[in-house]
């Protein structure tokens, strides 16, 4: 084991400890709920970060996969009386299938064109959620999504759901980490550098772009599944264009190409709206202002920026 991967294991251990400690310390249901949302957003951000941060492919339609995960499971459980666990596999499977179908033509594009292509895809899926109202409930949403159970234990009671979500976060974190450190991870980063050069050294860029796109769609669908069964109610508004933009923002604010940045970005963007309720009418203005300040003063993202400040203060 190299030193850096040893450090990484220590960090993941520390995070596991922090998750467990937070579960014990926070007993306010609202706080637990916020932590659950941070967890769900972290899974989304980790997936998108593999695609955007590491491979350099911009998707402005990732909320579609988040929505596909949520709606498939919701429809199967509400209308077809599936048990939620039985609905998990079809939800993930459908997202993977759609990602393959959309990815094959779309990933031939790059840069702005890929962004436009995925944007269009996101809008189409949003409209499907809204207009397919006999299944999705249209704009008024779909209620009565059953909660997750293991045996007779309801995961919605107490902190069970919190541990489930953060277990998934830790799993995703470890898998992402191993992927990035591997030969495949290097190949992905080479695509980010220059697709042409990556091809010239023998990296099958088309295949990798598709695989990482599908994997990030898979993670988004997993997050969507958890979201639907956590809230019990979903509506198209949670999966619109702004939701895709929010995901991209989490990746950029946290710091591209860093899994810890993803955690930080997801945490900040989940917490900010909660803290900013105090500003009432001015909430969105302050929110926007904070994001602008982060990008002006910490253009590499929060993680790199904070590390730089720390290193400078140590050297001073």
Q: How many residues bind another protein (CB under 8 A)?
A: 18
Q: Which of 187, 228, 231, 303 binds another protein (CB under 8 A)?
A: 187
Q: Which of 112, 152, 183, 312 binds another protein (CB under 8 A)?
A: 183
Integer Cα distance of 216 and 98 in angstroms: 12
Beta-carbon contacts of residue 106 (< 8 Å; ≥ 6 apart): 114, 117, 118, 121
Between 243 and 272, how does the x/- string for binding to another protein read (CB under 8 A)?
Answer: --------------x---------------
Q: Which is nearer to another protein, 257 or 294 (CB)?
A: 257
Q: Which of 199, 210, 271, 286 binds another protein (CB under 8 A)?
A: 199
- Tell the smallest beta-carbon distance from residue 193 to another protein (Å): 4
User: What residues numbered 119-138 form the site for another protein, per CB under 8 A?
Assistant: none
Between 200 and 239, how does the x/- string for binding to another protein read (CB under 8 A)?
Answer: xxxxx-----------------------------------
Q: Which is nearer to another protein, 198 or 223 (CB)?
A: 198
Angle at CA 224, nearest 5°, toward 95 and 37?
Answer: 155
Q: Which stretch binds another protein (CB under 8 A): 24-32, 186-194, 224-232, 270-278?
A: 186-194
Q: Is 186 near another protein (CB under 8 A)?
A: yes
- Tell the smallest beta-carbon distance from residue 274 to another protein (Å): 34
Q: Which stretch binds another protein (CB under 8 A): 165-173, 182-190, 220-228, 238-246?
A: 182-190
Q: Which stretch binds another protein (CB under 8 A): 28-36, 117-125, 181-189, 227-235?
A: 181-189
The residue ranges that bind another protein (CB under 8 A) are 183, 186-187, 189-190, 192-194, 196-204, 257
């Amino acid at each position: 084991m190299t030193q850096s991967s040893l450090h990484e294991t220590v960090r993941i251990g520390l995070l596991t400890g922090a998750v467990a400690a937070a579960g014990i310390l926070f007993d306010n249901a609202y706080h637990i709920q916020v932590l659950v949302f941070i967890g769900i957003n972290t899974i989304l951000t980790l997936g998108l970060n593999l695609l955007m941060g590491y491979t350099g492919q911009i998707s402005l339609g990732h909320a579609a996969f988040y929505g596909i995960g949520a709606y498939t499971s919701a429809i199967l459980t509400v209308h077809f009386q599936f048990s939620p666990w039985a609905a998990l596999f079809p939800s993930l499977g459908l997202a993977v299938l759609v990602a393959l179908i959309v990815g094959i033509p779309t990933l031939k594009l790059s840069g702005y064109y890929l962004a436009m292509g995925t944007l269009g895809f996101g809008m189409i899926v949003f409209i499907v959620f809204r207009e397919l109202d006999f299944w999705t409930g249209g704009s008024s949403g779909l209620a009565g999504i059953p909660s997750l159970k293991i045996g007779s234990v309801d995961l919605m009671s107490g902190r069970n759901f919190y541990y489930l979500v953060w277990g998934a976060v830790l799993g995703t974190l470890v898998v992402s980490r191993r992927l990035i450190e591997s030969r495949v991870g290097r190949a992905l980063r080479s695509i980010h550098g220059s697709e042409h050069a990556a091809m010239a050294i023998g990296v099958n860029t088309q295949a990798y772009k598709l695989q990482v796109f599908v994997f990030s769609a898979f993670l988004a669908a997993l997050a969507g599944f958890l979201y639907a069964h956590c809230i019990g109610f979903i509506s198209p508004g949670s999966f619109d264009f702004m939701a895709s933009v929010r995901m991209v923002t989490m990746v950029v604010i946290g710091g591209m190409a860093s899994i810890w940045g993803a955690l930080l970005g997801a945490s900040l963007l989940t917490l900010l709206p909660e803290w900013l309720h105090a500003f009432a009418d001015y909430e969105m203005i302050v929110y926007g202002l904070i994001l602008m300040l982060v990008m002006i003063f910490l253009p590499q993202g929060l993680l790199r920026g904070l590390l730089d400040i720390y290193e400078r203060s140590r050297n001073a």
